[in-house]
A and B are shown apart, each in its own frame.
Chain A
């Protein structure tokens, strides 16, 4: 059992590292880095389940019987694109926030907002 699932456990640890960075850190850029680590770990989860022992890459060729599952690969290709789209937009927002508030620290921004009210 230990050997059969260790891969998923590593993925869980990675996911949680990313997730922790997102919610615990106050720096906007770092949050986005965390988010992308979180997402990449989910990709690893999908790709790991596609692997078949003794299989090869899903490109049809003579003399190969066992292929890994292509479907998760397709899903993750899409998800990677979604991930970079989110990262780009998040960074653009961070840049604008820096211009508007002069800071990219959550606390400073919150403080300035409270002053506005």
Chain B
């Protein structure tokens, strides 16, 4: 397949299919995330990227034989490794016997949150999640370091005229979007705060929140969106998310407990756990939403700059 557009669309479909597979595997939280990331954000980013890099692949003159050999060796090793695996779905597998039973049986008493995934994610293994937030933050900073360009201030009048001319296009889309965006934002908030009880949480909420902003930016033009959302402001927001998460940990440190031990946050340990989870999920949501917006804005901004340059060159 030489057309990258089709390749990316297919990979988006693959993401969506694996998300539905995850649902049938009982991993609803993961499915939610995979649907928003694998089928949503990453497809979108790839599409923006190919508008800048061109959408066809050159016919390959590579020697695929070596690659094929490597793949076959790795694949057969993996198949060999599967032979002694516990059977699929078997309740006797070691992973269901050790470590996990405590999460399933005791998390209600220890953390007090019905969604076990949330309690493991945000309390038992909260440090992994802190690492995850930092990974996203790192990606945001990395994309900034690579793509952020010094923007030339353009005439406001030019933007306005540009907007007016665009206003006639996509009229229906814009009206529908204007109606939808508040609901999307509302849904993001619901996902954010409902993560304790159902699937959802800071990460998914952040992605949805960012999706609303990105939708706005796509339909109303980057410049309008930029005027609504300030770039450096949103970077600070990303930092605040990480810091919020970290400071919850530091508070437990200052109170003589271990890092990220929430039970100190309130007189009642369970209430403390609740508060801790709420705060760190909020931190996750902040960082994820702002980093997604940063990444998208910088990709799209780069593209606008390129187009401007081309226009100037042709003049």
Contact = CB atoms under 8 A, between A and B. Distances in A.
Contacts of A88: 42, 45, 139, 142-143, 295
Interface string B141-157: 01100110000000000
A87 B29 contact: no
B44 to A, nearest CB: 11
B49 A80 contact: no
A19 to B, nearest CB: 6
B54 A104 contact: yes
Contacts of A61: 114
Contact of B115 (A8, A9, A59, A83): A59
Contacts of A19: 70-71, 74
Per DSSP, chain A at the interface is helix
Interface of A: 4-9, 12-13, 15-16, 19-20, 23-30, 32-33, 36-37, 40, 43-44, 47-61, 66-78, 80-89, 91-96, 98-99, 104-105, 107-108
27 contacts: A4-B90, A5-B83, A5-B87, A8-B88, A16-B71, A19-B71, A23-B70, A23-B71, A29-B46, A33-B46, A48-B88, A49-B88, A52-B91, A58-B104, A68-B25, A68-B27, A70-B120, A73-B117, A80-B38, A81-B203, A85-B138, A89-B139, A91-B45, A91-B49, A98-B52, A99-B52, A107-B62
Interface of B: 4, 7-8, 11, 14-15, 18, 21-22, 25-30, 33-34, 37-38, 41-42, 45-46, 49-50, 52-54, 57-58, 60-62, 64, 67-68, 70-72, 74-75, 78-79, 82-83, 85-91, 93, 95-96, 99-100, 103-104, 107-108, 114-117, 120-121, 125, 128-129, 131-132, 135-136, 138-139, 142-143, 146-147, 197-199, 203, 288, 295, 298-299, 302, 306
